[in-house]
Amino acid sequence: MKFIDEALIQVKAGDGGRGMASFRREKYVPEGGPDGGDGGRGGSVIAIADRNLNTLIDYRYARIHRARNGEPGRGADQYGRGAADVILRVPVGTVVTDAENGDLVADLSSDGQRAVLARGGQGGLGNLHFKSSTNRAPRQYTLGEDGEARDLRLELRVLADVGLLGMPNAGKSTFIRAVSNARPKVADYPFTTLHPNLGMVRATDSIDFVIADVPGLIEGAADGAGLGVQFLKHLKRTRLLLHLVDMAPFDPAADPVKDARAIVTELKRYDPELHAKPRWLVLNKADLLPSAAEQNARAAEIVRRLRWRGPVFTVSAQSGAGCRDLCRQVGEYLAKQRT
């Protein structure tokens, strides 16, 4: 199924039915009095988070969602029937915002969570509500309220504890295959990953977490270079970022430190809050260096040039070396954060 993480929709709730002005008319019952009923409530448009969905593709093609109007009131004290609500099922992690002003409408971050996107109008009052000792034959009634109508933007932000950052071909997809049950496509050309991938990692017997792999960034991504920064929103809910750096690039002219700084710059330009998240440095593809001494020397050089002060790990996603220890420490860190 094609992965769609954004959609624009229009929602229109139903109008309330108008009230009724009516009088009781029966044989042998003179001056029966007012008996006009109220109009029915218009249907609302409601979004519900569903963990069985993982894409917004249904709303890429079905853009307009309308609820029915409430029925008008009738005589003999009969109220109009209220209209049924329209239910929109969306993936867990969907954020709904107003397309015109960007205001947050709903953040559906748990399975079964509900949010009213457009509220149906209340039904109008029938003339039986206007009777009094001085107005025994009221002819007043009210019209039903209009239902809400708005243009909305749906944006899916995947729910993950850990996010992977890195340049294209830094080995993020290979890493997530090595440590989790995810099986993204792996190839030797840039931008193999075209949409986010989620995987469940079992760090220890009692600790597990969800890891997210997003398409790689390049310098100028904030201005639209490469695949841009459109997928960075999927890292906003994470609690820890793993910055993967290719410590043994095939191109002799490539500079891992320059690439790492470019990623950090693009991250800061996109969202300072995301840039401020805890971030660990993961030096990948250590198996391409011939000896442990050379691996240590290359790692020390990268750390020195980056002036890195946080945790550093040297791993090989291809062979799995160092991945188990990294996942264990990530799991322990997340467990402390939860408590």
Alpha-carbon distance of 262 to 247, in angstroms, equals 15
Residue 193's pLDDT is: 56
**CA proximity to 76, closest of 131, 32, 41:** 32
Instruction: State pLDDT tens for residues 188-205.
Output: 555 555 567 778 888 888
Q: Are 116 and 87 in contact (CB under 8 A)?
A: no
Chain position carrying tokens 């496509």:
185
Backbone angles phi, psi at 267, to 5 degrees: -65, -45
First CA to last CA across the chain, in angstroms?
A: 37
Measured CA to CA in angstroms, residue 21 lies from 133, 134, 169, 305 at distances of 18, 17, 73, 82
pLDDT at 58: 87
pLDDT at 69 (0 to 100): 96
Residue with token string 């997928």: 231
Partner residues linked to 116 by β-bridges = 46
User: Would you say how long the chain is, in residues?
Assistant: 339
Alpha-carbon span 114 to 59, nearest angstrom: 17
Q: Where in the chain is the domain with CATH 2.70.210.12?
A: 6-156
Give the pLDDT of residue 336. 86
Strand pairing report for 162-165 and 208-213:
parallel
| Intervals of the chain under pLDDT 50 | 1
CATH of 162-338, one of 3.40.50.2300, 3.40.50.12780, 3.20.20.370, 3.40.50.300: 3.40.50.300
Cα–Cα distance, 111 to 168 (Å, whole number): 33
pLDDT at residue 270, rounded to an integer? 80
* Both structure tokens of 30: 């003179």
Q: What is the predicted pLDDT for the residue at 105?
A: 93
DSSP notation for 126-194: PGGGG--SS-SS-----PPPPPPEEEEEEEE----SEEEE--TTSSHHHHHHHHSS------SSTT---
pLDDT of residue 212: 83
C-alpha closest to that of 156 among 84, 70, 58 = 58
Residues of the chain with CATH 3.40.50.300: 162-338
Question: Superfamily for 6-156?
Answer: GTP1/OBG domain (2.70.210.12)
Helices (H), the chain: 57-61, 172-179, 256-270, 272-275, 292-306, 323-338
